[in-house]
Amino acid sequence: MTMQSLSPATQRFLAQSPLKLLIDGQWAPAASGQTYKSISPSDGTVIAELALAGTEDVDRAVAAARRAFEAGWGAMLPAQREALLRRLAGLLAEHADELAELESIDNGKPIRTTRAIDSRVASGLVYHFAGWPSKIHGVTPSVNVPNHFVYTRREPLGVAALIIPWNYPLIHSMQKVAPALACGNAVILKPAQVASLAMVRIGELFVEAGFPPGVFSVLTGKGSVIGQALAEHPGVSKLQVTGSTAVGRGVIKASAGNLKRLALELGSKAPNIIFADADLSKAIPKSFHAGFGHSGQSCVAGARLYVQSSIYEEVVAAMVDLATRARVGHALDDATELGPIVDETQMNTILDYIKSGVEQGATVRCGGHRLTGDAYGSGTYVAPTIFTGARDDMVISCEEIFGPVLPIYSFETEEEVIARANNTEYGLAAGVWTRDVSRAHRLGAAIKAGVVWVNTYDMFDGTAPFGGFKGSGYGRDNGEEVIEAYTEVKSVWIGL
C-alpha cells in the first residue's frame, strides 16, 4: 500500500503540509515556526509535517476562546447552536471516508474499522449532542422559606480544553467537543502528537460549518508542553483528559493553582470473564476482539481474560487459533484485521512487557515477537500474543500494556473471580459472559468499573455515560452526565 492509494481528497489535504494551528478562526504556524513529522506506523513513511505549538500558542488560543465566549457564543440562542452542530455533523458524514483514511494512516487502525465505525460514530455523536442546547434547563426547588421563589439556571463554564489520546481520535474528540459546544463553551482541542491529522481536517470542517472565530481551536504538538500549559492556564475553566493514570496525576498537580474543573478518563486493566454456561460461539470471538481489537490499543481492552476451569483449555485453544489466523498488516489494506502499533516507542514498551512475562514464568502460547520481513517493511507490528500460567501479581497481569498481549487465567467460583477482577488499581470497564440472568446482575453490581458489559463488549452510545472508578479517573463522557459536567448550576432567589 502507498499514499497513492488514498482518495484525491485526502491527498489534497496532505499536500498542504506543513499543516497549521487553528486559532481564532485562522490557520497559523506555531509562534516558534517549528514543525514535526507525522510517521505512518504501517510502513515508516513520513505522511506530513504539523505545527509544533508552544506556550505562546496556548495563550493565543485561550485568549481567542475567551473572547468568543464573552462575545456571545455562550449566550447564543439554543436553536442557533443546534443548527451549527447539525451542519458540522453533516460535514463529518459527508467526509467520513476521508476522515477514516487520515485516522488509519496516522495511528494504524485498520481502514475497515475506521470506515465502518470511527468516522460514522463521530458524526453520529455530533448529531446526538446537537439536540441538547434547547433541552438544557433548570428546576424550581420547593424551598422552606416563605415568600420566596427559587429557580436554577445551567450556564456554560467558559473555555473547555480537551486532551485526547491517539487510539480513537475521531470518537474521543467528538464525544467531548460536541457536548462542550452544545452547552455553550468555547473549546480548545489538543490531539495526540502521533495522531493529529484527522483533527486538523475536522478543524477545517468547523470553519466551513460557520462556527464563530475562537469557538473551536486545534493545537498540535507535545502533550508535555501544551497539556501542561492548558492545565496551568487561569483562562481555562474545564480540562477533560483521556490518557494514562500517570498523565492524570500530572494534570491534577498542574491544575491545582487555579482549581479548574477536571474530568479524567485514565488507565485500565479490564477483566473479561467467561463462565462455563456462556454461549461460547459468541463469547470467544467477542473476547478475542475485546483483547486484540486495534491491536490491543484500546482504553477498554479486555486485557485479563478469566475462564472457568471446566472450559479453560477449550477457550485457550480457540483463542490461540484466532490469534494465529488473524490478518496483521498495513492499515489501508481492506483485508487487514489487526494493524501496526502506533509508533516504535510503544512497540518496544509492549515487547518489554512480553519479555517480563516470560522472565516471571508465564508461558507464551502464540506470538511474543515483532513481525518483520517484506510484508511488514519498516512498520511497527507485534504478533498477537497469548500467555497462560500467569499469576495475578505478575507485571503483565497488573500493568496496562496497551498492545496485543492477553493473559488467560483459570478460575473456579463466582466469588473467586469477582475478588480477582476487582484486585486492581483500575476500574474503567469489564465484561461478563453467562446465560445465568441472576449471575449477570450480581456481577454487574459486584465488579468495580464504570461500565460492565454482559454478553457483549465494547459497546457505546451517546445516551449512556462512560467513565472510570478508582485509578481509572473520574467524570463522564456521554449521557446526561456530560451535559452536567460542562455547565455550572446557579440558584436565583426572588423575594416575593
Active site residues: 265, 299
Set of cell numbers at residue 131: 439536540
- Whether residue 109 contacts residue 340, with contact meaning beta carbons closer than 8 Å, is answered with no
Set of cell numbers at residue 19: 499543516
Q: List C-alpha distances in Å: 56 to 33, 37, 226.
A: 12, 21, 10
- Whether residue 173 contacts residue 122, with contact meaning beta carbons closer than 8 Å, is answered with yes
- Whether residue 85 contacts residue 178, with contact meaning beta carbons closer than 8 Å, is answered with yes
Question: Max Cα separation, the chain?
Answer: 81
Q: List C-alpha distances in Å: 388 to 33, 258, 314, 366, 423.
A: 51, 48, 13, 10, 19
Give the Cα-Cα-Cα angle 163, 456, 292 (nearest 5 degrees): 60
- Placement of cell 470497564 in the chain: 429
- Label residue 15 exposed, middle or buried (CB < 10 Å: 0-12, 13-18, 19+): exposed
Q: Between helices 197-209 and 78-94, what is the axis angle to 10°?
A: 130
Query: What ranges make up the beta strands (E) of 246-366?
Result: 261-265, 271-274, 304-308, 363-366
Strands 46-51 vs 35-39: parallel, antiparallel or unpaired: antiparallel
Backbone angles phi, psi at 270, to 5 degrees: -65, 130
- Selection from 300, 277, 279 nearest residue 455 by Cα: 279
